[in-house]
Amino acid sequence: MNTDHSGHRADPPPSGSAKNPLRRDLLAARALLTKDDVARTAAVLAQSALDLPELAGARTVAAYVSVGREPGTRDLLEALRGRGVRVLLPVLLADNDLDWAAYEGPEHLLPAGRGLLEPDGPRLGPAAVVEAGAVLLPGLAVDGAGMRLGRGGGSYDRVLARLAAAGARPPLVVLLYENEVVARVPSEPHDHPVDAVVTPGGTRRFAS
């Protein structure tokens, strides 16, 4: 079973997907990173993301808890909470859709299986994401057109479809390592471009 973000698993991609070779290469590169590499990058990404107008103006931000060698989000989650921002974190449902709960600090994150950490507070329902003024999406890559490569699970495809159905258009932001901004991500009709990608080298925005 695949993971879309810090572990949000959903249905596996179709056999022979054009995205799979790129996924394999990027995951292999992440596997070479040390814990120190991940920690240093997380601190830089948090500072850069905090400076984004898209996040600075949002009272509610939908985010996720990074795990393993993903670009770290935990420093950013704490900094947003310290600013008084309401941070929503995903909770994986049995059907691979995502529920949401408020982030109340690292001590309120519980192991949830498959290596995930999820908030222990009340569940707010899948529709809670439409309240977000900005959405931090997990990903493996973004290309020059802003197309995001996830792990193929599909959980966030549902989130983006739910936002579109509600007429919500919060800025979509991805945190990545420098090598994960690539020339082209194979895209499908249901894929949504993001608005910005933050790497240790800076921020790149895409025309909507």
**Is position 33 annotated in a ligand binding site?**
no
For 31, counting Cβ atoms within 10 Å of its Cβ (0-12 exposed, 13-18 middle, 19+ buried), the class is exposed
Per-residue pLDDT of 41-99, as tens digits, reads: 999 999 999 999 999 889 999 999 999 999 999 999 999 999 999 999 999 998 889 99
What is the predicted pLDDT for the residue at 16?
39
Decide if 61 contacts 133 (C-beta within 8 A).
yes
**Is position 48 annotated in a ligand binding site?**
no
**Is position 35 annotated in a ligand binding site?**
no
**Is position 179 annotated in a ligand binding site?**
no
> Which of 120 and 13 is assigned the larger pLDDT?
120
Per-residue pLDDT of 90-148, as tens digits, reads: 999 988 899 999 999 999 999 986 788 999 999 999 999 999 999 999 999 999 999 99
SS3 for 120? coil
**Is position 154 annotated in a ligand binding site?**
yes
pTM recorded for the entire structure: 0.88
**Is position 53 annotated in a ligand binding site?**
no
**Is position 123 annotated in a ligand binding site?**
no
Tokens of 191: 């894929």
**Is position 57 annotated in a ligand binding site?**
no
Domain ranges of the chain: 2-205
**Is position 148 annotated in a ligand binding site?**
yes
**Is position 70 annotated in a ligand binding site?**
yes
For domain 2-205, the question of CATH label 3.40.50.10420 is answered with: yes
Q: What does DSSP say about strands 98-102 and 86-92: parallel, antiparallel, or unpaired?
A: antiparallel
Per-residue pLDDT of 184-204, as tens digits, reads: 998 887 788 999 999 999 999
